[in-house]
Amino acid sequence: MDGAHLNAASERTCIVTRQGGSPDGLIRFVAGPDMDVVPDLKRNLPGRGCWVTAERTILDKAVAKNLFARALKEKVTVSSDLGDLVDRLLARQALGSIGLARKAGQLVLGAAKVEAAVRSGNAKLVLHAIEASEDGVRKITQARRSVVHLGGPDIPAYKLFSQAELGLALGGANVIHAAVLGLDAGKAAAKRVGALDRYRGGTPDERNANAAVVDHREAAEDTE
Q: Using one digit for the tens of pLDDT, what is the confidence trace for 74-118? A: 999 999 999 999 999 999 999 999 999 999 999 999 999 999 999
In the chain, where are the structural domains located?
A: 3-80, 86-216
Answer positive or negative: Cα dihedral of 48, 53, 55, 58: negative
Q: What is the pTM of this model?
A: 0.83
Once rounded to an integer, what is the mean pLDDT over residues 147-171?
94
* Residues β-bridged to residue 128: 177
Mean pLDDT of 20-41: 93
**Which architecture characterizes domain 3-80 according to CATH?**
2-Layer Sandwich (3.30)
Average pLDDT score, the chain: 87
Identify residue 1 by its one-letter amino acid code.
M
Fold (topology level) of 86-216: 60s Ribosomal Protein L30; Chain: A; (3.30.1330)
Sheet holding 49-53, edge to edge: 37-40, 26-31, 49-53
